[in-house]
Amino acid sequence: METPVATPPTNLLGLPRPELEAFVGALGNKPFRARQLMGWLYKRGEGRFDAMTDLARDFRAQLAECAEVRTPQIMRETTSADGTRKWLLSAGVAQAFEMVFIPEADRGTLCISSQVGCALDCAFCSTAQQGFNRNLTTAEIVGQVWLANRELGVDEQGHRRVTNVVLMGMGEPLANFRNVVPAIRILLDDLGFDISRRRVTLSTSGLVPQIYRLAAEVNCALAVSLHAPDDALRDELVPINRRHPIAELLEACWHYIDEQNGRSITFEYVMLDGVNDQPAHARELVKLLRGRPAKLNLIPFNPFPGTRFRRSPMAVIARFRDELIQGGVMATIRRTRGDDIDAACGQLAGQVNDRVRVRLGDKLAAAMAS
């Protein structure tokens, strides 16, 4: 007789509503059971089946046997002097990624990761330095939001602290399209986290074909890492530009807005001293973006060990912004948060694998280094 192969339990955090209904259906239950289950999972943040008291006992027993609610495990948590919190999360043996919560007076923004490492190799980003390890699964992406809600609890009015989610952590979300899109569906679903589409933002370095696909598949806000007004400079800073140059990228952006009935695209622009921060750059940006549904978000460069770049002086950044505004382009300066704990943009997890290596001992370290 053959030994039956044990199927691993299905992590329910990876299933958008139709898939959860199919899963529940395959167990012989009515689709409305999936809705009840989502209420427990996402409205009440409950992950223990035996606590889901209005589910039939048999159904709970079935779930306990073949399903689970599993978030990434916390390896370390750090809190910044400004209240920003960062979690180092495990992605299995010797792999880790990060998630950051940024509290503000009127909202709480959770910055989540979509990949362990990144393959895009942007010149000024510390995640790029560690290379690409793997895609996060849908359950690992959704699991970050679920975990943050559990860790952060509710405010004085009983509201969840995470009001906004940005896919601006480690990784290029559009390079993990297959897992990211279902995760966004769960964030937006009114039976899921029920976050409004203007409060879920995907940030991309500019994978043009996937921007078109995204426009057709989900409805969320889009941020695009522009960082340079011309192809010669952008080729250097954001190498994907060599494949999808600025004109093509902007066309995809305007298509996205048309398709989505969106308000505008946020263009991120990291301010690198003497590289892309001159008044002439601002004037070129005005030519590209004036009259378009675009906002520029100027990000003071956040340094990390070994980088050849420096942050533009604040006065230069302010002048750059003024130049843009005078030219008729909306522009703001992103306030740096959490840099004392390496939680600011572009600083995530550069040192993680080294720390993991130390913990795992020499043998594994040697294996990983080879």
Active site residues: 98, 345
346 binds ligand SAH (CB under 6 A): yes
Longest Cα pair distance anywhere in the chain, in angstroms? 79
Using CB under 6 A as the binding rule, the residues of this chain from 255 to 314 that contact ligand SAH are: 268, 270, 299, 301-302
345 binds ligand SAH (CB under 6 A): yes
C-beta of 67 vs 175, nearer to ligand SAH: 175
176 binds ligand SAH (CB under 6 A): no
Closest distance of CB 58 from ligand SAH, Å: 44
241 binds ligand SAH (CB under 6 A): no
Closest distance of CB 284 from ligand SAH, Å: 19
- Residue 198, token pair as written in the block: 């203007």
Exposure class string for 303-338: b at 16+ Cβ within 10 A, else e: bbeebebebbeeebbebbbebbeeeebbbebbebbb
C-beta of 158 vs 305, nearer to ligand SAH: 305
- Residue 360, token pair as written in the block: 């795992």
C-beta of 252 vs 299, nearer to ligand SAH: 299
Of the candidates 67, 68, 85, the residue with the CA atom closest to the CA atom of residue 76: 85
CA gap 205, 114 in Å, rounded: 13
Q: What angle do the packed helices 17-26 and 177-188 form, to 10 degrees?
A: 90
21 binds ligand SAH (CB under 6 A): no
C-beta of 109 vs 225, nearer to ligand SAH: 225
204 binds ligand SAH (CB under 6 A): yes
Closest distance of CB 205 from ligand SAH, Å: 4
CA 332, 335, 339, 343 dihedral sign is: negative
Rg for the chain (alpha carbons), in Å? Answer: 22
98 binds ligand SAH (CB under 6 A): no
- Residue 7, token pair as written in the block: 């199927």
C-beta of 330 vs 364, nearer to ligand SAH: 330
Total number of residues that touch ligand SAH (CB under 6 A): 16
Q: What are the DSSP E strand ranges found in 121-260? A: 132-135, 164-167, 200-204, 221-225
Using CB under 6 A as the binding rule, the residues of this chain from 211 to 230 that contact ligand SAH are: 225
CA gap 217, 312 in Å, rounded: 38
C-beta of 46 vs 273, nearer to ligand SAH: 273
Find the binder of ligand SAH among 205, 210, 241, 266 (CB under 6 A). Answer: 205
CA gap 298, 282 in Å, rounded: 11
CA gap 270, 311 in Å, rounded: 9
323 binds ligand SAH (CB under 6 A): no
Please choose, out of 24-32, 117-125, 140-148, 350-358, the segment that lies near ligand SAH by the rule CB under 6 A: 117-125
Binding residues for ligand SAH (CB under 6 A): 122, 124-125, 168, 172, 203-205, 225, 268, 270, 299, 301-302, 345-346
